[in-house]
A and B are shown apart, each in its own frame.
Chain A
């Protein structure tokens, strides 16, 4: 049996004595999309930050392929180059054009020549429907366009794993679709994605696995169908009832 690409075992994270994540076990197999759902403060962002080494864990291990990400001897920069991240706030660099934003990491962190990096970036932008925005600056783009640029930027280094943290939360409802379509397309192309989301409809049709977090523990997990349609844990049922009430 082949091992999952991302393997999280017994992960623990605390902030100043307050336990934020506890006993987290999670596998993300290659080409899978795994959605993290759960209320505000349940620890979704913290989990993603631990995987991207933006935070140190307080116990447990995270493996990406053969590499143990939680090893303090690890070269964190080298490991992060294998992971692409998109945040809720786009965090585009305002002093660079769209193309420069997308080619920065390939050129500087991966040493890819400018011409090659730009060609790849233009292909990506084309695919995300942003071809004619390549020379524009971020402040000239809509929220949905900015978030798609952020996705293109994360994809530009051909990462093995993508982490998305509520990438549609800051968007107008009519822009949410355009970004989620991009994610669906990425899934079809076989990328591996771990994402926190509040979009239950999206999770239902795109996720291979859904994990429900509450108070820093995974209360329930399974296929999207199982967790979202027939939740067994009472807290999952309560959470879904609350979320769907407002839809």
Chain B
């Protein structure tokens, strides 16, 4: 990367570079690098284009293409259902946002409980461990069934009956266990010397955790957490099994009505439209993290 940071001082830059003109050698070097960069971009573009053309030609000229086109890429079907599916997708987004906040809180709590050493908290620690063991072991879909159909069947006072709420409870419990483990790994990834350094300054266990360990741990786990966010965003579709009219359920109804799979594809496109930006953001964060490690390693 530093390979490509050109040495041209910007006009705004006054600190120590005033009166400096790059030598002929340096100018030639920069010209060469610029040319190489252009060449690399061109190569990348041409390769991508060729590959794209090959794939499109191969798909379109395949024997089943007409059938696929009619069943999966039907413009009329798409227009008929897209509005409803989009409306349903808004419910997925809401479920995602609400669950995510609760999951982060639950996960952090579980992780903190699991890393504390104080003997008085041992029962809570065991409970947290048991929670993680159980809820991480049960498939999310199974959990949605158990809670979505099982909880109302108990007919207890005050249990929610809305399938959306029940679905979210299941998602929170399932992902809370995962995210708790991610947070715990993050807490453990902070070098022990940091804990000692904080203790040596006279900080209490609690202050050490709060001001030294936790901030570093959170910084370390943001990329894997985003990964879990993406999985959660998709898994909101599992709540479709309880019946609420979210994107998948709406698409399913449309698909059954017209014997056409285009509505499914429309729903898939919506999920992709949300997860791709999160993925790019996660990539960017990881790159930043790597650069930071480089700076520390000097």
Q: Which residues of chain B have C-beta atoms less than 8 A from A56's C-beta?
A: 2-3, 5
Q: Which residues of chain B have C-beta atoms less than 8 A from A22's C-beta?
A: 16
Contact A73 B15 (CB under 8 A): no
| Nearest neighbor of A55 in chain B, beta-carbon distance | B2
Taking the complex as formed, is B36 at the interface, i.e. its CB lies under 8 A from any CB of chain A? Answer: yes
Identify which of residues 1-35 in chain B touch chain A, using a CB-to-CB cut-off of 8 Å: 2-3, 5, 7, 9-10, 13, 15-17, 20, 22-23, 25-26, 29, 32-33
- Which of B2, B13, B25 touches A61 (beta carbons < 8 Å)? B25
Min CB gap B143→A, angstroms = 39
Identify which of residues 1-46 in chain A touch chain B, using a CB-to-CB cut-off of 8 Å: 10, 12, 14, 17-19, 22, 45
Contact B7 A12 (CB under 8 A): yes
Q: Which residues of chain B have C-beta atoms less than 8 A from A12's C-beta?
A: 7, 20, 26
Q: Which residues of chain B have C-beta atoms less than 8 A from A61's C-beta?
A: 25
Contact A60 B29 (CB under 8 A): no
Taking the complex as formed, is B298 at the interface, i.e. its CB lies under 8 A from any CB of chain A? Answer: yes
Contact B16 A10 (CB under 8 A): no
Contact B7 A14 (CB under 8 A): yes
Contact residues of B: prevailing secondary structure? loop
| Nearest neighbor of A215 in chain B, beta-carbon distance | B16
Category for how many chain A residues contact B: 10 to 19
Contact B5 A19 (CB under 8 A): no
Q: Which residues of chain B have C-beta atoms less than 8 A from A19's C-beta?
A: 15-17, 20
Min CB gap A222→B, angstroms = 26
Contact B32 A58 (CB under 8 A): no
Contact B25 A58 (CB under 8 A): no
Given A17-B9, A17-B10, A19-B17, also A60-B25 (CB < 8 A)? yes
Taking the complex as formed, is A72 at the interface, i.e. its CB lies under 8 A from any CB of chain B? Answer: yes
Given A14-B17, A18-B16, A72-B3, also A59-B10 (CB < 8 A)? no
Q: How far is the CA of A60 from the CA of B10 in the complex (A)?
A: 19
By CB atoms of chain B within 10 A, which of A10, A14, A55, A70 has the most?
A14
Number of interface residues of B (CB under 8 A): 20
| Nearest neighbor of B25 in chain A, beta-carbon distance | A61
Q: Which residues of chain B have C-beta atoms less than 8 A from A18's C-beta?
A: 15-16
Q: Which residues of chain B have C-beta atoms less than 8 A from A10's C-beta?
A: 23
Given A17-B10, A17-B15, also A59-B5 (CB < 8 A)? no
Min CB gap A14→B, angstroms = 7
Q: How far is the CA of A56 from the CA of B22 in the complex (A)?
A: 15
Min CB gap B15→A, angstroms = 6
Contact B29 A72 (CB under 8 A): yes
Q: Which residues of chain B have C-beta atoms less than 8 A from A71's C-beta?
A: 29
Q: How far is the CA of A18 from the CA of B36 in the complex (A)?
A: 26
Given A72-B32, A72-B33, A72-B36, also A59-B26 (CB < 8 A)? yes
Q: Which residues of chain B have C-beta atoms less than 8 A from A17's C-beta?
A: 9-10, 13, 15-17
Identify which of residues 37-80 in chain A touch chain B, using a CB-to-CB cut-off of 8 Å: 45, 49, 55-56, 58-61, 70-73
| Nearest neighbor of B8 in chain A, beta-carbon distance | A58
| Nearest neighbor of B294 in chain A, beta-carbon distance | A54
Q: Which residues of chain A have C-beta atoms less than 8 A from B29's C-beta?
A: 70-72
Q: Which residues of chain A have C-beta atoms less than 8 A from B2's C-beta?
A: 55-56
Q: How far is the CA of A14 from the CA of B7 in the complex (A)?
A: 8
Q: How far is the CA of A60 from the CA of B23 in the complex (A)?
A: 7
Q: Mark A90-102, 1 if CB is under 8 A from B, else 0.
A: 0000000000000
Chain A interface residues (CB < 8 Å from chain B): 10, 12, 14, 17-19, 22, 45, 49, 55-56, 58-61, 70-73
Other 15 A-B pairs with CB < 8 A, given A17-B10, A22-B16, A59-B7: A10-B23, A12-B7, A12-B20, A12-B26, A17-B9, A49-B298, A55-B2, A56-B3, A58-B26, A59-B22, A70-B25, A71-B29, A72-B3, A72-B29, A72-B32
23 contacts between A and B (CB under 8 A): A10-B23, A12-B26, A14-B16, A14-B17, A17-B9, A17-B10, A17-B13, A17-B15, A17-B17, A19-B15, A22-B16, A55-B2, A56-B3, A58-B22, A59-B23, A60-B26, A61-B25, A70-B29, A71-B29, A72-B3, A72-B32, A72-B36, A73-B32
